[in-house]
Amino acid sequence: MGLVTWILIGVIVLVAIGLGVGVFFSGLLRGAEIAGTNPAVQNATQETKEFIDDRVDITNNVLIVTTAEFSYSKGEPVAITVKNSGDQTLSFPNAALGLEVEHVDSGKKYSVVAAQVITDLAPGESKTITWQDDSAGPGKYTAAVYTTPDRTIAGQSSFEITG
């Protein structure tokens, strides 16, 4: 075999390798596109995003409000934890840390029964408040904490009540 033949074989091999790599990566990209448009993948991605967005909302990087679970049965106590992640002690208007629960669709607000005493929450400290109202029907709820008289939300979390 001559030099031209070896060059021709080399070019054919390089083209085959190049096409193989191109086909491989285009197949990989196409597979990712198909997976990305799959309703199950989109639903799981959206549910994960909603879970994270609803579960913890750090409005001012000072208060973190979470619920022990995302979904509760009707009449089941809801454990809501408020944590001061800032570096200053925060004061609240009552022992429930100014917590208020609201039904998202109806806008009905539920108060949290607590002693009307000013309550402090030191940096790094957290307090769990249990809320239960048998009249609260199924649906999505927010638990919001207010620290200022103008009712600015300092932190909130979402949960749902089922059947």
The pLDDT tens digits for 136-159 are 999 999 999 876 666 677 788 999
Residue 47 lies in a domain: no
Tell whether 111 and 157 lie within a shared domain.
yes
Residue 154 pLDDT = 79
Residue 28 lies in a domain: yes
Q: What total number of domains does the chain contain?
A: 2
Alpha-carbon distance 122 to 83, whole Å?
A: 9
Closest by CA position to 78, among listed 87, 70, 89: 70
* Cα 23 to Cα 2, 15, 64, distances in angstroms: 31, 12, 48
The pLDDT tens digits for 27-77 are: 656 766 776 677 765 666 666 556 545 443 334 458 889 998 999 999 899
Residue 49 lies in a domain: no
Ordered DSSP codes for 18-43: HHHHHHHHHHHHHHHHHHHH-HHHHH
Residue 51 lies in a domain: no
Residue 79 pLDDT = 93
Alpha-carbon distance 24 to 157, whole Å?
A: 45
Its domain, for residue 19, covers: 3-37
Tell whether 23 and 100 lie within a shared domain.
no
Query: What is this structure's pTM?
Result: 0.60
Tell whether 33 and 61 lie within a shared domain.
no
23 HSE (CA, 13 A, CB side): 6
Burial code (b: 16+ CB inside 10 Å, e: under 16) for 4-41 equals: eeeeeeeeeeeeeeeeeeeeeeeeeeeeeeeeeeeeee
Tell whether 88 and 10 lie within a shared domain.
no
